[in-house]
């Protein structure tokens, strides 16, 4: 088992702690494999009544996936990137369908791959340290790990807003939108874990006792604007709505969108539109895998990683560089299903 995970039993709980502090616990293929194998082992273990996810030392739960590896693979044959996506999405699906209760402690940065672990969990704990985001369009990627399913089921158009802008939410905002199920002070987490491990059957009461009233959720002040200005599934319409609004908020969000990849913003809107109608999470993962395999080898992802992560000039040259330049044919190519022998399958 990889040392990038700390796995053990605590009372009646199984505990998986992400352990790559220098990378804010970003997921590797080995970590996803380790989580998959552990969940399978605990599935029939009567001594494990509940599974808890948290992180070892450091300032975040999980900052995402191994983006540099994905880009290096995408620049070649893409095989390593496909293997990572296939394994990670199997982990996401297993969590989504897991019979035993699962708990994610989203204390600190929770982005990308961390969202993919947390969102399928039955209990999702936010704190004053939580910083939740799906910022993928800023590097020419899209909110995967089930993003098309989870974001499309948030209230109003908040999911579309988060997918396009990569906006960061704090713990109070996560609770208000239903991303988190409970809001606890960070100082209460160790007590919560100990009490849950001692008596998993009482988890609802334990979390209820330790929860505190969060501060006001700032996103509530913008909900009407989000629902109105991000109402369309056409990126051009959203740009037009923001341009026609003379408010400061609209101007700021339009400026944000203009830094993102037009291609993967359109991919994100289509993913959420189609994800909203899916009945089976496995279908979502199958679609996201096909899209991911295509996107990871396209110009915008390689250029986005260069600009944001490698050279850090934060000046990506997107191609196409406008929403109008991203054609329906281009999107159809990205969303094309893979051949049956290459398609994603559940574990």
The catalytic residue positions are 65, 113, 136, 144
Let me know: does 185 contact 212? Beta carbons within 8 Å: yes
Task: List CB contacts of 324: < 8 A, sequence separation 6 or more.
Answer: 236
Please name the helix (run of DSSP H) or strand (run of DSSP E) that holds residue 13, with its range, or none: strand 13-18
Task: Give which of 323, 341, 217 is closest to 270, Cα–Cα.
Answer: 323
| Distance in angstroms (rounded) separating the CA atoms of residues 125 and 115 | 12
Structure tokens at 340: 């049956």
Alpha-carbon distances of 54 from 2, 7, 16, 61, 134, rounded to whole Å: 16, 10, 6, 6, 19
132 beta partners: 110, 169
131-133 and 102-106 as β-strands: parallel, antiparallel, unpaired? unpaired
| Distance in angstroms (rounded) separating the CA atoms of residues 139 and 145 | 16
| Distance in angstroms (rounded) separating the CA atoms of residues 159 and 125 | 19
- 62 C-beta neighbours (distance < 10 Å), count: 29
Strand ordering across the sheet containing 13-18: 5-10, 13-18, 50-55, 102-106, 123-126, 182-183
């Amino acid at each position: 088992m990889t040392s990038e995970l700390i796995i053990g039993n605590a009372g009646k709980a199984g505990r998986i702690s992400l352990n790559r502090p220098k990378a804010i616990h970003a997921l590797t293929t080995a970590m996803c494999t380790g989580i998959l194998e552990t969940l399978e082992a605990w599935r029939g273990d009567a001594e494990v009544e509940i599974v808890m996810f948290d992180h070892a030392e450091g300032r975040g739960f999980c900052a995402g996936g191994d983006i540099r590896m994905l880009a290096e693979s995408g620049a070649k044959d893409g095989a390593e990137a496909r293997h990572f996506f296939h394994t990670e999405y199997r982990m996401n699906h297993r969590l989504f369908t897991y019979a035993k209760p699962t708990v994610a402690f989203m204390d600190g940065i929770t982005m990308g791959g961390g969202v993919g672990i947390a969102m399928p969990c039955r209990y999702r704990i936010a704190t004053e340290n939580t910083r939740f985001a799906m910022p993928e369009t800023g590097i020419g990627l899209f909110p995967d790990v089930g993003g098309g399913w989870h974001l499309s089921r948030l209230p109003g158009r908040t999911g579309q807003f988060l997918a396009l802008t990569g906006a960061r939410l704090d713990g109070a905002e996560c609770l208000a939108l239903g991303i988190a199920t409970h809001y606890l002070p960070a100082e209460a987490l160790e007590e919560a874990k100990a009490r849950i491990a001692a008596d998993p059957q009482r988890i609802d009461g334990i979390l209820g006792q330790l929860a505190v009233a969060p501060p006001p959720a700032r996103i509530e002040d913008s909900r009407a604007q989000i629902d109105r200005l991000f109402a369309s599934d056409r990126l051009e319409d959203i740009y037009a709505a923001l341009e026609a609004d003379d408010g400061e908020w609209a101007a700021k969000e339009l400026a944000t969108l203009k830094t993102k990849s037009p291609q993967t913003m359109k991919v994100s809107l289509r993913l959420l539109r189609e994800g909203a109608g899916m009945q089976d999470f496995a279908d979502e993962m199958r679609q996201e895998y096909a899209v991911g395999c295509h996107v990871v080898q396209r110009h915008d992802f390689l250029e986005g990683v260069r600009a944001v992560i490698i050279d850090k000039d934060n000046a990506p040259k997107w191609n196409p560089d406008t929403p109008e330049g991203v054609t329906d044919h281009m999107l159809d190519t990205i969303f094309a299903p893979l051949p049956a022998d290459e398609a994603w399958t559940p574990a």
